[in-house]
Amino acid sequence: MVRIPEEKGPRVRARELGLPLGRFKTGKFNAITDVEGVLVGHSTIIQGEGPLRPGFGPVRTGVTAILPNLGNIFMDRMSGGGFVLNGAGEVSGMTQLMEWGLIETPILLTNTMAVGAVSDGVARYLVQRYPGIGDEHDVIIPVVGECDDSWLNDISGRHVRQEHVLEAINTAASGPVREGNVGGGTGMVTCDFKGGIGTSSRKLPEALGGYTLGVLVMSNFGKMHNLRVGGLPVGEVLVEKFKNTPHRGKSYGSIIAVVATDAPLLSHQINRLCKRVGLGIGRVGSYAAHGSGEIVVGFSTANIIPRRTQKMVYKMKILLDQRLDPLYEAVMEATEEAILNAMCMAEPMTGVNDNYSPALPLDEVRRFVDACRPIFASVKKRPHQTSVPASKERPSDQDREGEVTVSSALPTKVRGAEGIPFPT
């Protein structure tokens, strides 16, 4: 096996490479935790080296936990939804999520063979915290997503235990999120480079609602020749350089994405938002192969659906469907950047049977970006319009990227489902 010499410089996030990553600004941390009340924690398991001995290692895996509503999601539930682009993967609890349109447990990410152990760990955690589950309250089905990390990890050894689930949940916090070889992403590979956990966020201008949206991915998909970095065909260039480095061959891999937003969305709107995550995954180079699982879970923090109430109904804020387009664009941008952040922050890793996953060579990416920079510089940024009906007059709520305020942004004219304007 031929290994490319590893770069000595520090790993940095994709945005620091000068890549074109969309028009919307990021949140403070450029992470899913920019959505108020969302917490993220990890438990990373790295043990042993050398030949695979099932049950003994080497181990390269872990657990990542996403906690909505500051962790109090069981009693104060939120609107949720999801989307399956290709289903050669699993998110347990998703059947009920799609039926009820509610998130009521933390969302956990891990390897394929650990879904049962992680689901059991979450169930134990919630039962200890809420003893009435199964009696006073309904039973629960934890939301647990998985990807196959067997290229680097002793996956059949099932090394994830309850203590790892509790560590991920109990260490969940707001603020910056660790990326790359951490938590559920420890043993993951993306486009034949080291992948893992990545996250990004977008903050819409006040004229478009001022909403915050964040995406967290456990990225484990693709082949090198398909890789696109900021729209640039970097993978096609790197294939020749890494032609003598063995790659994961039997599995195309998968990706699980979690979307959070404070925009007031109903479940069907969250489902539609999750569909657009697939466009962001495609930007990086996925074609959702036969054996791949591209599964998305989403939730909105804007409305609380209480588990206990004496009321017959509850009131919800709902964003007009005509106002969804900026969120669609934002989630596509954030998904692309989250995947690239996972790759840019991941360190090279050697796992079972000395299988080796190189890190994305950032110096090569920088050279590629520098070569294309004159093209980027020649493109004049122009204000974009929101989806308003075509008319001879200039739309009054044109997106001027924050130059107008909410009070001066007039409502979009009433439109039919096909976007055809009609008088009121």
Residues recognised as catalytic: 254, 292, 294
How many residues make up the chain in this entry? 424
Residues 6+ apart with CB under 8 A from 250: none
Cross-strand partners of 412: none
Show the DSSP H helices in 44-134 as ranges. Answer: 94-100, 115-129
Which secondary-structure segment (H or E) carries 143?
Answer: strand 143-147
Per the omega criterion (within 30 degrees of 0), is the bond before 58 cis?
Answer: yes
Separation between Cα atoms, residue 78 and residue 326, nearest integer Å: 22
Q: How far is Cα 47 from Cα 194, in angstroms, rounded to an integer?
A: 18
Residue 190 burial (10 A CB sphere; 0-12, 13-18, 19+): buried
CB 165 within 8 A of CB 91: no
- Dist. CA 417–CA 424, nearest whole Å: 15
Interatomic CA distance for residues 218 and 136, integer angstroms: 35
Q: Quick one: which of 309, 296, 306 has its CA closest to 255? A: 296
* Residue 346 and residue 182 in contact, taking contact as beta carbons nearer than 8 Å: no
Q: How far apart are CA 196 and CA 344, in angstroms?
A: 10
Torsion of CA 383, 207, 66, 229, to 10 degrees: 0
E strand or H helix that includes residue 168: helix 162-170
Pick the closest to residue 28 from 199, 281, 181, 169 (CA basis).
199
User: What residues contact 407, with CB distance under 8 A and at least 6 apart?
Assistant: none
Q: Kindly report the number of other CB atoms within 10 A of residue 143's CB atom.
A: 27
Strand partners for 38 = none
Q: CA–CA separation, 260 vs 119, rounded Å? A: 21
